[in-house]
């Protein structure tokens, strides 16, 4: 196989079109609309970028889910990062779009313009290097992300211990997918009347499942009667995933299926899972921006690694902070509102000047609608 | 944050737990902590924040590609038929 095939073929417009015809044919056999939640922001991005919404029959509806690690970070935790970054003896490192998200004191970018040493790293591996080069500083890794990035943080800690590097600390904000999926179903089932659409099925995340395996979704068909199709990130993957889903409904099946078999197995990457188990344990509760407290939905360092835990070492405020009152990110993350329903979408809130976090990350629903909205 | 462009492994350093991979012609060093036991030169992997997460299963990739090819051919065949049907049933009778 040539490398080119491995990406071109999964973006082939012809295959996208052919699959959309197949979906249409199958969907004609359905007697109701099905609402599919794509849990992961990566899927939201693909769906918007390739205009896949327009290729769906009328009775297939997409609900954008909460799977964007930056979007679900509550302001108080961004404030933690800000406070830590403002310390003279600290270099704060983080990934992705995190540095642009406003907390109550400003964003990490703002902290940087006030003289804080904030570094955007491409990989936790860079943190190791920064720590070695700056032995007189505390290098704090503000760790974010789902199951996908959690093992990398564990690997960083393992390497720091092995190489006896003492000046790396962690602020852990790793969250888990199945718990938030459960919360979304439960909160809907409780308020069935107030929500105009239901989640009938889930398009399971790609990279989360590479690490954690499709086994983490088994409870959804069995306990909640919702099928899950784990799908890849390319547009052809998403289309095939939807086709598999529609077929489940037509044939009256409800199960976990893997479309993304070239990268996902039922078991996932056991080595990565072992590393997570070695260093982390579940928090009783973790607050998700817009969604509130969700039990067992996030990791923290085990007590025995307390010497590496910035949350234990530094005094950090515990109060919760409200979001901007016009921002409806919470409803968007729950899948009960679309970005365009927000009063300030595209006016007071843009990617250049985001009011809420869904506008900051390219995986956020508001940012995806803003960027590709002309395709709607 | 999530990219799914596959990279090919071109060099492995087990002591360091790293590999050099080629992503669309760009070479970079990545961590292989999660795949160290199985990875071979020539394998395709997915990289996320500087680490290889898995080894892409080529057999499954080929299967998917073959399936898509089949669906495309079926569609093209149907489109051709529809065109022929349309011209056969041309309401103006082709003028004659
Ligand atoms: S457009 Fe901005 S303010 Fe409105 S929901 Fe999205 S992020 Fe929040």
* Chain A partners within 8 Å of B54 (Cβ): 210, 263, 269
- A261 touches B: beta carbon within 8 Å: yes
What pTM value is reported for the model? 0.89
Nearest to B51 among A1, A96, A152 (CB): A152
Which residue, B31, B30, B58, is CA-closest to B44? Answer: B58
Identify the segments of chain A with pLDDT beneath 50.
193-194, 375-376
Ligand 1 atom closest to Cα of residue A366: 6
Ligand 1 atom closest to Cα of residue A337: 5
Same domain, A83 and A168: yes
- Let me know if residue A288 belongs to a domain: yes
CA distances from A314 to A81, A112, B49 (A): 11, 20, 27
Residue nearest to atom 1 of ligand 1 (CA): A345
- Let me know if residue A14 belongs to a domain: no
Same domain, A297 and A336: no
Same domain, A309 and A362: no
A367 lines ligand 1 (CB under 6 A): no
pLDDT at A376: 46
Domain span at residue A339? 329-375
- Let me know if residue A360 belongs to a domain: yes
Same domain, A117 and A156: yes
Residue nearest to atom 3 of ligand 1 (CA): A327
Centre of ligand 1 to C-alpha A245, Å, is 30
pLDDT at A26: 96
Q: How far apart are the first and last CA of chain B?
A: 62
Provide the pairing of β-strand B18-23 with B6-13: antiparallel
Centre of ligand 1 to C-alpha A31, Å, is 35
Residues of B with CB under 8 A from a CB of A: 1-2, 4-6, 8, 22, 24, 30-31, 33-37, 44, 46, 48-51, 53-54, 56-58, 60-65, 67-68, 71-72, 74-75
- Let me know if residue A53 belongs to a domain: no
Nearest to A124 among B50, B60, B71 (CB): B50
pLDDT at A54: 92
A355 lines ligand 1 (CB under 6 A): yes
Residue nearest to atom 7 of ligand 1 (CA): A356
Residue in A11, A123, A175, A364 to test binding to B, most B beta-carbons within 10 Å: A123
Residue-averaged pLDDT of chain B: 87
- Let me know if residue A113 belongs to a domain: yes
B57–A261 CB contact, under 8 Å? yes
Question: Is residue B1's pLDDT more than 50?
Answer: no
- Let me know if residue A200 belongs to a domain: no
Helices A41-49 & A365-372, crossing angle to 10 degrees?
10
Q: Residue B22: pLDDT band by 50, 70, 90 thresholds?
A: very high
Nearest to A210 among B6, B54, B64 (CB): B54
Q: Contacts by A298-301 with C-beta closer than 8 Å and gap 24+?
A: A298/A172, A298/A173, A298/A174, A298/A175, A298/A176, A299/A150, A299/A172, A299/A174, A299/A175, A299/A176, A300/A172, A301/A157, A301/A170, A301/A172
Centre of ligand 1 to C-alpha A349, Å, is 6
Same domain, A274 and A358: no
For A72-127, write each residue's pLDDT tens digit: 899 999 999 999 999 999 999 998 788 888 888 989 999 999 999 999 999 999 99
pLDDT at A256: 98
Q: Residue B90: pLDDT band by 50, 70, 90 thresholds?
A: low
- Let me know if residue A105 belongs to a domain: yes
Residue in B2, B65, B75, B76 to test binding to A, most A beta-carbons within 10 Å: B2
Centre of ligand 1 to C-alpha A104, Å, is 16
Same domain, A334 and A308: no
Structure-token pair, residue B26: 């760009």
- Let me know if residue A163 belongs to a domain: yes
A139 lines ligand 1 (CB under 6 A): no
Which distant-in-sequence residues (6+ apart) come within 8 Å of B92 by Cβ? none
pLDDT at A375: 46
A206–B6 CB contact, under 8 Å? no
CATH number at residue A280: 3.40.50.11740
A210–B71 CB contact, under 8 Å? no
Which distant-in-sequence residues (6+ apart) come within 8 Å of A341 by Cβ? A328, A331
Query: What's the structural domain count of chain A?
Result: 2
A:B CB pairs within 8 Å: 136
* Chain A partners within 8 Å of B64 (Cβ): 9-10, 240, 261-262
């Amino acid at each position: 196989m040539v490398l080119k095939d491995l990406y071109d073929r999964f973006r082939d417009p012809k295959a996208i079109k052919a699959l959309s015809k197949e979906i249409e044919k199958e969907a004609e056999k359905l007697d109701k609309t099905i609402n599919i939640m794509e849990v992961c922001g990566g899927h939201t991005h693909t769906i918007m970028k390739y205009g896949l919404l327009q290729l769906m029959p009328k009775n297939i509806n997409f609900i954008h889910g909460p799977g964007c690690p930056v979007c679900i970070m509550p302001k108080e935790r961004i404030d933690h990062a800000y406070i830590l970054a403002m310390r003279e003896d600290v270099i704060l490192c983080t990934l992705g779009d995190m540095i642009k998200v406003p907390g109550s004191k400003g964003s990490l970018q703002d902290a940087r313009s006030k003289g804080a040493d904030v570094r955007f790293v491409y990989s936790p591996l860079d943190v190791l290097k920064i720590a070695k080069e700056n032995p007189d500083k505390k290098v704090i890794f503000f760790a974010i992300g789902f199951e996908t990035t959690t093992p990398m943080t564990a690997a960083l800690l393992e390497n720091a211990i092995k190489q006896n590097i003492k000046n790396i600390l962690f602020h852990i904000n790793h969250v888990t997918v199945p718990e938030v999926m459960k919360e979304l179903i439960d909160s809907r089932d409780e308020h069935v009347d107030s929500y105009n659409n239901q989640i009938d099925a889930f398009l399971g995340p790609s990279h989360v499942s590479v690490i954690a395996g499709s086994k983490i979704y088994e409870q959804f068909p069995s306990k909640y009667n919702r099928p899950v199709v784990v799908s890849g990130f390319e547009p052809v993957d998403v289309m095939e995933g939807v086709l598999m889903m529609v077929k489940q409904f037509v044939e009256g099946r409800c199960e976990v299926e893997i479309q993304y078999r070239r990268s996902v197995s039922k078991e996932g990457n056991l080595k990565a899972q072992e590393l997570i188990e070695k260093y982390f344990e579940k928090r009783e509760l973790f607050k998700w921006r817009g969604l509130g407290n969700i039990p067992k939905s996030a990791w923290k360092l085990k007590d025995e690694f307390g010497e590496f835990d910035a949350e234990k070492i530094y005094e950090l405020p515990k109060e919760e902070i409200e979001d901007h009152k016009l921002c409806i990110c919470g409803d968007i993350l729950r899948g009960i509102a679309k970005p365009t329903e927000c009063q300030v979408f595209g006016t007071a809130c843009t990617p250049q000047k985001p009011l809420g976090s869904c506008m900051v990350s390219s995986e956020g629903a508001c940012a995806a609608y803003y960027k590709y909205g002309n395709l709607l | 944050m999530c990219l799914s462009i596959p990279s090919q492994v071109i060099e492995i350093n087990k002591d360091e737990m790293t590999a050099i991979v080629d992503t669309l012609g760009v070479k970079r060093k990545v961590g292989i902590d999660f795949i160290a036991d199985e990875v071979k030169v020539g394998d395709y992997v997915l990289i996320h924040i500087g680490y290889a997460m898995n080894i892409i299963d080529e057999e499954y990739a080929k299967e998917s590609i073959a399936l898509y090819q089949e669906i495309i051919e079926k569609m093209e065949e149907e489109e051709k038929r529809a065109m022929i049907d349309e011209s056969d049933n041309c309401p103006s009778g082709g003028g004659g």
